[in-house]
């Protein structure tokens, strides 16, 4: 025996809008920027340093093995991962107002 259920119509609500705080913000939303305290940035920098060291160790190990694709993978790790980690650490150093010794 088939059970037929009536569908209950759903009420439609208008989307809520934030009221602009000034006339210059009418018609557009202000961008929200999350600012981390210096201690938070230092913690991220420390974790990136550890990740960079792991990349270096893995790349050195792969280069030493010198199997068919190991040297290519090591180069990819250094250039793609290691270089990006280094760029992010430099950006954090700039935000913290620190000079970087490379």
* pLDDT beyond 70 at 21: no
Each domain of the chain, given as residue ranges in start order, spans 36-96
Give the pTM: 0.58
> Mapped to the 3 state alphabet, what secondary structure does 43-102 carry?
HHHHHHHHHHHHHHHHHHHHHHHCCCCHHHHHHHHHHHHHHHHHHHHHHHHHHHCCCCCC
* pLDDT tens track for 57-71: 999 999 999 888 998
């Amino acid at each position: 025996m088939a059970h037929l259920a009536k569908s209950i119509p759903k009420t439609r609500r208008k989307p809520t809008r934030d009221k602009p705080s000034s006339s210059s913000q009418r018609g557009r939303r202000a961008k929200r920027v999350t600012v981390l305290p210096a201690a938070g940035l230092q913690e991220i920098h420390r974790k990136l340093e550890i990740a960079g060291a792991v990349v270096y160790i893995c790349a050195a190990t792969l280069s030493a093995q010198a199997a068919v694709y190991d040297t290519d993978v090591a180069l990819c790790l250094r250039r793609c991962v290691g270089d990006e980690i280094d760029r992010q650490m430099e950006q954090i150093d700039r935000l913290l107002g620190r000079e970087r010794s490379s």
